[in-house]
C-alpha cells in the first residue's frame, strides 16, 4: 500500500467497519481469524443494511455470513481485481471528482515507460530484476514539476495507460483464469462497484490470502487501484483494511522487526557508497533528495526547511533518523561524529536477510546461532523439512516460548518421524547426529505481563498485568533486558572502537526486578534531550540536530506530561465515549493510534476538494473540514485558517484546501495508480502471473511466474505430471498460528484434535477417498499424513475449460501437545513475494492419495 498511498498500514480501523455500505472480504477468512473484529461488519449490516462479499478458494465460516460468496482459484487475485478495474473504467463507474483531485490519474508518464507481454521497460532477465528509471513522470523544463492532463484523455496520462493495461482483463478472460462462475463474478462487480456513488463507501478486508503469494504486493496494489477509482480511500467505512494476524505484529513492524527497515518504516542502510555516511544516507532515503547538492548536514537541513520538490512529508526523514540515533546512543551522538551513524549495522547489498534467505544460509551452515522468540518455524516456516534440517547445522539455538514447541524440540526423535511411502526422500536424522546446543527460556503469557500492543488498526493500547507468571517464566521484556544488560556487561571497559555500538548504547529501563514498560514507551515516544521531557506535540517537533531523541517516529506524541509533571502515557487512556458527533466510532480517547492519534488516514478525502462541502449525501461521514477563520496556534495569531473535525487531519493543519495534499506521505502527494520508480520490484501496474507452481499456463502473458521473484530452488519446481492438484494452507478459529499454545489447551484440542485436509467431493471420487479416510499429501518438498475431510464447500475450478482441484491443508499441527499432526508446511515451497519475501504458502502443487 505504501507505493499507492504513502503508508503500508490498515487505513481505517476495526470499529470503523461498521460505517461501510459494502465490505469485500478477499484473501481473508475473517470470521475464523478475526472472530471479534467481524462483529463490526455484523453491526454495519444490522444498522445500515451493509452487504458483505466474500471471495475465497473455499467456502468457509466467513462465507456463511456473507451475502455473496464467489469462489476463486488461489493466486489469481490480480486477474480478479484487474477485471474489476477494467469493468469500472469501461462502464464509467469511477468517482470522477475524487479521481481527478486525489490521484495521479492525470499525471503524464515518461516516454521511456513501456509494457509488453508481461514485462515492463528496463528488465534484466539474467538478474531477474528491473532498472526502474523509466517508471517515472514527465517533468517540466525545471525538472521538478510533473506534467498533467486534467482532461484524462492524453494517452500517456496514468489513467489512460491504466485503462490500456487493464483492457486485457475482460470478464471472459478473467473468469477463465480465476475459475469464478461468470454470473457470480458479475454480481460481485456490480455490488462492490456500487460504492463509487459519492454517498457510499466500501471497504476491503484482506489478510494472508492476499500477501502470501509471489505477487502478494501487487495483489494489494490492485486493491488500491480499485479503491482509488471508487473513491473509497480516507473515508469512514472505506479504505483498505489489512487484517494483521497477530495482536502486536503491527507493533513489531513499527519497531522494525523486519530485515530491511529501521523503526518507522525507513529503509535500513546498506554497506555501500550511497549510504557511506549520514549525509549520503539521508539523501538516499529522503524522496527527491538523491541529487541534492548539499555537502553537509547543515546544508541538508537548510534544504529541508526550504522544501524539497516531490518529496512529500518524508522530506523530514533525516529528523526521524537522527532522533532515533540519539535515542539509541544518547551522548555518544554528536554533530561531529555523524550522530554515531557508523554504529548502525549495515546490510550487505548482495544479501537477502528474509526468513527464506536466512534458512537457506542456515542450511548451508553459514549461521552459528539462532534466537527463536515466540516463533515455531518447524511448523510455521515454509519448506519445513528443509528448515528443520537447517537447524541441525546451527551451533546453538535459544527458544523462547510458553510451552516446549516443535522448534524447541526439533532435535528429538519425535521431531524426525516421517510417514512411510511418500514421494519425498528424507534423510533419517537422530538426536546424536545433531550438534546444536539448544536452550529453552520459558516465557509468560500475555496476561502475566505489562506493556503496549499495537493492533491492526494502528491502535496502541497498554495492557495491565492480570496474574503473576507461572513458575520461573518471564516476560519477553525482562528476557531481552537481561540479555542486553549481560551482553553490554561483557564488553564493559573495552576501548575498542568496534565495540562502541555496545559500550556506548543507552540502556536504562528502571532499576527494579522488572524493566518498566513506561520507560520504554517514553523512549519510543520521544523526548527533548536537554530536559528529558516527553515530546507531546508529535513528530512535527522532531529535529535532526541532536536536540530530540525518539525511538520510533510514528509513535511520537504517545507520551505527554501531566500538569504535575508525571507521565501521561496515552495508550493507557480508556475513554469509551465516541467522540465522533455522527457516531462513526472514532474513540479518539481510547488508547492512542499512530500517527499522532489520527484514526482514519488520508481523511482529507472525506470531504470534497474545496475542503468544506461533504460528498453529496454523505454529510455524516465527514471527518475533517476547513475552517477559514480558525486560529489553530494562539502563539501565531497571524496564521488564520485550520482544519478541524473529530479526527486528526491527515494533511498540514494550516494548509488551505487547494494546497493540502491528501496523501502527504507520497512524494506526489496523491494516491497513485501508477506506482513510480522504486516502489515495486515488478512494475508500476499489477500484472497477473501464475504462482511459482501452477497447473496452468499464464493466460495473460507468456511469463510463467513473477519476473522479479527470486527463485531459490529451481530444481524443486513441482509439475503436474507428478503433482496435479493445487495446494493451499489456512487456519481455523480454534487454533492459533502454529498451535504451540492452543494445541496444549485441552478444550481447544477437543474442538480441533487432528490434522486434516479438505478436498472436494469430485476429487474424493477421483482418488477414491472417502470422508474420514487417512491420506498422504505430497510435494517435492515433503509428505504429510492427514485425515481427509471431503466437503461440498470446495468445488473444482473450471480453468480454461478444464477442471482443476484444490487440496486445502490446515497448517497448524505439529508433534507436541494434546492435538498432534503433521505440519502442512513440509509441503510449501521456498519462494516468496519479490518485494517482501513473504513465502507463497497459498498456492503450490501437490498430489493426494489414500494412505
Partner 1 sequence: MARLMTNLYDVSKCTACRGCLNACKDSNQLPAVIEPFKGNYDTHGGDTNGNTFTVMRFNEHDDPVDGVRWNFLKYQCMHCIDPECMKVCPKGAYTKLEWGATFHDEEKCIGCQYCTYACPFGIPKYRKHTDTVTKCTLCYERVGEGLTPACTRTCPTGALTFGFRDELLAVAEAKAKFLRANGFPRATVYGKVELGSGTNKIYVLTDTPDKFGLPVDPKVSANTWVWQDWVQPYAGWLIPIALAGSAISFVTTRMLASKGGNHTEGGHE
Q: Please give, one letter per residue, the 3-state secondary structure of 525-554.
A: HCEECCCCCECCCCHHHCCCCCCEECCCHH
Min dist CB 328 to partner 1, Å, is: 41
- In terms of CB distance, is 14 or 228 closer to partner 1? 14
Min dist CB 769 to partner 1, Å, is: 10
Check binding of 747 to partner 1 (CB under 8 A): yes
Check binding of 491 to partner 1 (CB under 8 A): no
Min dist CB 464 to partner 1, Å, is: 21
- In terms of CB distance, is 185 or 689 closer to partner 1? 185
- In terms of CB distance, is 206 or 756 closer to partner 1? 756
Q: With contacts defined by CB under 8 A, name the span among 274-282, 416-424, 750-758, 828-836 that binds partner 1.
A: 750-758
CB 327 within 8 A of CB 520: no
Check binding of 510 to partner 1 (CB under 8 A): no
Q: At which residue does the C-alpha cell 550438534 appear?
A: 435
d(CA 84, CA 564): 57
Check binding of 664 to partner 1 (CB under 8 A): no
CB 128 within 8 A of CB 831: no
Query: In whole angstroms, what separates CA 273 from the centre of its chain?
Result: 30
- Establish how many alpha carbons lie within 13 A of residue 581's alpha carbon, considering only the half-sphere containing its beta carbon: 9
d(CA 509, CA 185): 56
Min dist CB 294 to partner 1, Å, is: 54
State the cell numbers at 91: 462502464
For residues 44-76, b (16+ Cβ closer than 10 Å) or e, as one string? bbeeeebbbbbbbbbbbbbbebbebbbbbbbbb
**Identified binder of partner 1 from the candidate list 197, 332, 789, 806, rule CB under 8 A:** 789
Q: With contacts defined by CB under 8 A, name the span among 392-400, 465-473, 620-628, 768-776 that binds partner 1.
A: 768-776
CB atoms within 10 A of CB 501: 17
CB 240 within 8 A of CB 223: yes
CB 686 within 8 A of CB 222: yes
- In terms of CB distance, is 242 or 819 closer to partner 1? 819
Check binding of 813 to partner 1 (CB under 8 A): no
β-pair type (202-206, 22-26) = parallel
d(CA 749, CA 747): 6
Report which DSSP code applies to 213. Answer: S
Check binding of 785 to partner 1 (CB under 8 A): no
Check binding of 803 to partner 1 (CB under 8 A): no
**Identified binder of partner 1 from the candidate list 77, 690, 734, 785, rule CB under 8 A:** 734
Q: With contacts defined by CB under 8 A, name the span among 209-217, 273-281, 516-524, 741-749 that binds partner 1.
A: 741-749
Q: Which of 21, 211, 10, 107 is nearest to 671 (CA)?
A: 107
CB atoms within 10 A of CB 216: 26
Check binding of 788 to partner 1 (CB under 8 A): yes
Min dist CB 306 to partner 1, Å, is: 53
| Dihedral sign for Cα atoms in the order 512, 518, 521, 522 | negative
- In terms of CB distance, is 554 or 749 closer to partner 1? 749
**Identified binder of partner 1 from the candidate list 164, 754, 802, 850, rule CB under 8 A:** 754
CB 188 within 8 A of CB 63: no
What is the H or E stretch that residue 747 is in? helix 746-751
Query: Which positions from 25 to 64 touch partner 1 by CB under 8 A, shown as an x/- string?
Result: ------xx--xx-xx--x----------------x-xxxx
Indicate the burial class of 530 (C-beta count within 10 angstroms; 0-12, 13-18, 19 or more).
exposed
The three-state secondary structure class of 145 is coil
Min dist CB 787 to partner 1, Å, is: 5
Q: With contacts defined by CB under 8 A, name the span among 383-391, 676-684, 742-750, 828-836 that binds partner 1.
A: 742-750
Min dist CB 72 to partner 1, Å, is: 15
- In terms of CB distance, is 486 or 792 closer to partner 1? 792
CB 241 within 8 A of CB 206: yes
**Identified binder of partner 1 from the candidate list 527, 756, 811, 844, rule CB under 8 A:** 756
Report whether the peptide linkage leading into residue 595 is cis, meaning its omega lies within 30 degrees of zero.
Answer: yes
Check binding of 787 to partner 1 (CB under 8 A): yes
**Identified binder of partner 1 from the candidate list 13, 458, 793, 830, rule CB under 8 A:** 793
Q: With contacts defined by CB under 8 A, name the span among 94-102, 223-231, 513-521, 787-795 that binds partner 1.
A: 787-795
- In terms of CB distance, is 776 or 834 closer to partner 1? 776
What is the H or E stretch that residue 810 is in? strand 806-810
Min dist CB 472 to partner 1, Å, is: 26
State the cell numbers at 751: 474442538
For residues 740-765, b (16+ Cβ closer than 10 Å) or e, as one string? bbbbbbeebbeebbebbbbbbbebbe
CB 178 within 8 A of CB 170: no
- In terms of CB distance, is 88 or 788 closer to partner 1? 788
Report which DSSP code applies to 614. Answer: P
Angle between helices 384-391 and 355-363 (to 10 degrees): 50
- In terms of CB distance, is 220 or 794 closer to partner 1? 794
Check binding of 749 to partner 1 (CB under 8 A): yes
**Identified binder of partner 1 from the candidate list 396, 771, 800, 850, rule CB under 8 A:** 771
- In terms of CB distance, is 16 or 693 closer to partner 1? 16
Min dist CB 178 to partner 1, Å, is: 17
Contacts of 58 (CB under 8 A, 6+ apart): 71, 730, 758, 793, 794, 806, 808
CB atoms within 10 A of CB 105: 29
Min dist CB 580 to partner 1, Å, is: 22
Q: With contacts defined by CB under 8 A, name the span among 117-125, 126-134, 271-279, 740-748 that binds partner 1.
A: 740-748
- In terms of CB distance, is 373 or 751 closer to partner 1? 751
Q: With contacts defined by CB under 8 A, name the span among 65-73, 169-177, 523-531, 541-549 that binds partner 1.
A: 65-73
Min dist CB 181 to partner 1, Å, is: 10
- In terms of CB distance, is 435 or 771 closer to partner 1? 771
Check binding of 258 to partner 1 (CB under 8 A): no
What phi and psi, each to the nearest 5 degrees, are found at residue 514?
Answer: -110, 140
Instruction: Restricting to residues 95-124, name those near partner 1 by CB under 8 A.
Output: none
Q: At which residue does the C-alpha cell 472505506 appear?
A: 238
Check binding of 737 to partner 1 (CB under 8 A): no
- In terms of CB distance, is 177 or 748 closer to partner 1? 748
Check binding of 798 to partner 1 (CB under 8 A): no
Transcribe 98-113 into DSSP letters. Answer: HHHHHBGGGBBBPTT-
Min dist CB 793 to partner 1, Å, is: 6
Check binding of 753 to partner 1 (CB under 8 A): yes
**Identified binder of partner 1 from the candidate list 134, 337, 547, 791, rule CB under 8 A:** 791
**Identified binder of partner 1 from the candidate list 200, 319, 795, 805, rule CB under 8 A:** 795
Q: What angle do CA 594, 598, 602 make, to 5 degrees?
A: 110
Check binding of 178 to partner 1 (CB under 8 A): no
The size of the interface with partner 1 (CB under 8 A), counted in residues, is 40
Min dist CB 742 to partner 1, Å, is: 11
- In terms of CB distance, is 34 or 165 closer to partner 1? 34
CB 700 within 8 A of CB 688: yes
Contacts of 350 (CB under 8 A, 6+ apart): none
Give contact residues for partner 1 (rule: CB under 8 A).
Answer: 31-32, 35-36, 38-39, 42, 59, 61-65, 67, 69, 733-734, 746-754, 756, 771-773, 787-793, 795, 818-819
Amino acid at each position: 500500500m505504501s507505493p499507492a498511498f504513502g503508508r503500508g498500514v490498515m487505513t481505517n480501523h476495526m470499529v470503523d467497519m461498521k460505517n461501510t455500505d459494502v465490505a469485500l472480504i478477499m484473501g481473508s477468512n475473517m470470521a475464523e481469524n478475526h472472530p471479534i473484529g467481524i462483529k463490526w461488519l455484523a453491526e454495519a449490516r444490522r444498522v445500515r443494511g451493509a452487504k458483505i462479499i466474500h471471495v475465497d478458494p473455499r467456502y468457509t465460516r466467513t462465507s456463511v455470513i456473507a451475502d455473496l460468496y464467489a469462489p476463486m482459484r488461489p493466486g489469481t487475485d490480480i486477474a480478479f481485481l484487474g477485471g474489476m478495474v477494467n469493468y469500472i473504467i469501461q462502464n464509467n463507474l469511477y468517482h470522477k471528482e475524487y479521481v481527478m483531485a486525489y490521484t495521479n490519474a492525470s499525471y503524464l508518464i515518461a516516454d521511456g515507460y513501456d509494457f509488453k507481454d508481461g514485462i515492463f521497460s528496463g528488465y534484466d532477465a539474467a538478474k531477474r530484476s528491473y532498472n526502474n528509471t523509466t517508471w517515472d513522470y514527465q517533468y517540466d523544463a525545471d525538472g521538478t514539476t510533473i506534467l498533467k492532463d486534467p482532461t484524462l484523455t492524453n494517452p500517456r496520462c496514468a489513467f489512460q495507460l491504466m485503462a490500456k493495461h487493464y483492457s486485457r482483463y475482460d470478464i471472459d478472460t478473467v473468469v477463465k483464469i480465476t475459475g469464478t462462475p461468470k454470473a457470480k463474478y458479475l454480481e460481485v462487480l456490480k455490488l462492490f462497484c456500487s460504492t463509487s456513488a459519492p454517498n457510499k463507501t466500501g471497504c476491503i478486508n484482506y489478510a494472508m490470502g492476499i500477501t502470501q503469494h509471489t505477487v502478494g504486493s501487487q495483489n494489494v496494489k490492485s486493491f488500491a487501484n480499485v479503491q482509488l477509482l471508487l473513491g473509497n480511500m480516507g473515508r469512514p467505512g472505506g479504505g483498505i483494511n489489512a487484517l494483521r494476524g497477530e495482536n502486536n505484529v503491527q507493533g513489531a513492524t513499527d519497531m522494525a522487526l523486519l530485515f530491511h527497515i529501521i523503526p518507522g518504516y525507513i529503509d535500513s542502510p546498506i554497506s555501500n557508497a550511497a549510504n557511506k555516511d549520514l549525509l549520503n544516507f539521508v539523501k538516499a532515503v529522503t524522496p527527491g533528495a538523491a541529487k541534492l547538492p548539499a555537502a553537509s548536514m547543515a546544508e541538508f537541513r537548510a534544504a529541508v526547511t526550504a522544501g524539497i520538490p516531490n518529496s512529500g512529508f518524508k522530506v523530514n526523514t533525516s529528523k526521524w533518523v537522527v532522533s532515533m540515533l540519539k535515542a539509541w546512543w544518547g551522548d555518544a551522538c554528536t554533530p561531529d561524529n555523524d550522530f554515531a551513524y557508523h554504529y548502525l549495522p549495515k546490510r550487505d547489498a548482495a544479501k537477502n536477510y528474509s526468513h527464506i534467505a536466512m534458512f537457506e544460509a542456515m542450511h548451508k551452515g553459514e549461521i552459528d546461532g539462532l534466537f527463536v522468540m515466540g516463533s515455531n518455524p518447524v511448523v510455521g516456516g515454509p519448506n519445513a523439512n528443509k528448515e528443520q534440517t537447517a537447524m541441525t547445522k546451527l551451533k546453538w539455538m535459544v527458544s523462547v516460548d510458553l510451552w516446549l514447541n516443535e522448534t524447541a524440540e526439533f532435535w528429538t526423535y519425535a521431531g524426525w518421524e516421517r510417514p512411510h511411502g511418500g514421494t519425498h526422500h528424507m534423510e533419517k536424522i537422530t538426536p546424536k547426529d545433531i550438534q546444536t546446543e539448544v536452550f529453552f527460556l520459558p516465557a509468560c503469557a500475555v496476561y502475566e505481563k505489562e506493556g503496549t500492543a499495537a493492533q491492526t488498526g494502528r491502535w496502541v493500547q497498554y495492557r495491565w498485568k492480570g496474574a503473576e507468571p507461572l513458575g520461573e517464566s518471564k516476560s519477553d521484556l525482562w528476557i531481552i533486558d537481561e540479555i542486553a544488560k549481560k551482553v553490554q556487561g561483557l564488553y564493559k571497559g573495552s576501548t575498542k572502537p568496534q565495540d562502541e555500538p555496545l559500550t556506548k548504547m543507552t540502556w536504562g529501563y528502571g532499576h527494579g526486578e522488572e524493566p518498566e514498560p513506561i520507560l520504554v514507551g517514553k523512549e519510543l515516544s520521544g523526548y527533548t534531550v536537554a530536559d528529558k521531557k516527553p515530546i507531546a506535540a508529535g513528530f512535527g517537533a522532531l529535529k535532526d540536530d541532536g536536540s530530540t531523541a525518539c525511538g520510533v517516529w510514528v509513535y511520537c506524541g504517545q507520551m505527554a506530561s501531566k500538569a504535575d509533571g508525571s507521565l501521561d502515557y496515552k495508550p493507557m487512556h480508556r475513554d469509551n465515549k465516541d467522540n465522533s458527533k455522527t457516531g462513526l466510532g472514532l474513540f479518539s480517547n481510547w488508547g492512542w493510534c499512530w500517527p499522532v492519534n489520527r484514526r482514519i488516514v488520508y481523511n482529507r478525502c472525506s470531504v470534497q476538494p474545496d475542503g468544506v462541502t461533504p460528498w453529496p449525501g454523505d454529510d455524516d461521514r465527514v471527518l475533517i473540514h476547513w475552517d477559514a477563520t480558525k486560529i489553530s496556534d494562539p502563539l501565531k495569531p497571524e496564521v488564520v485558517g485550520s482544519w478541524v473535525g473529530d479526527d486528526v487531519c491527515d494533511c498540514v493543519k494550516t494548509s488551505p484546501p487547494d494546497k493540502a495534499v491528501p496523501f502527504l506521505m507520497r512524494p506526489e502527494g496523491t494516491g497513485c495508480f501508477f506506482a513510480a520508480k522504486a516502489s515495486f520490484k515488478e512494475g508500476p501496474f499489477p500484472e497477473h502471473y501464475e504462482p511459482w507452481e501452477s497447473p496452468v499456463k499464464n493466460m495473460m502473458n507468456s511469463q510463467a511466474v513473477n519476473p522479479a521473484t527470486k527463485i531459490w530452488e529451481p530444481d524443486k519446481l513441482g509439475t503436474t505430471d507428478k503433482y496435479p492438484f493445487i495446494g493451499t494452507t489456512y487456519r481455523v478459529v480454534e487454533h492459533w498460528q502454529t498451535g504451540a499454545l492452543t494445541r496444549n489447551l485441552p478444550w481447544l484440542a477437543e474442538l480441533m484434535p487432528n490434522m486434516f485436509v479438505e478436498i472436494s467431493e469430485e476429487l474424493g471420487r477421483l482418488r477414491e477417498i472417502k470422508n474420514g479416510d487417512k491420506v498422504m499429501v505430497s510435494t517435492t518438498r515433503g509428505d504429510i499424513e492427514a485425515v481427509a475431510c471431503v466437503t461440498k464447500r470446495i468445488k473444482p475450478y473450471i480453468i480454461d475449460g478444464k477442471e482443476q482441484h484444490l487440496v486445502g491443508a490446515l497448517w497448524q499441527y505439529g508433534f507436541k501437545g494434546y492435538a498432534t499432526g503433521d505440519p502442512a508446511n513440509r509441503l510449501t515451497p521456498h519462494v516468496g513475494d519479490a518485494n517482501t519475501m513473504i513465502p507463497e504458502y497459498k498456492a503450490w502443487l501437490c498430489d493426494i492419495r489414500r494412505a
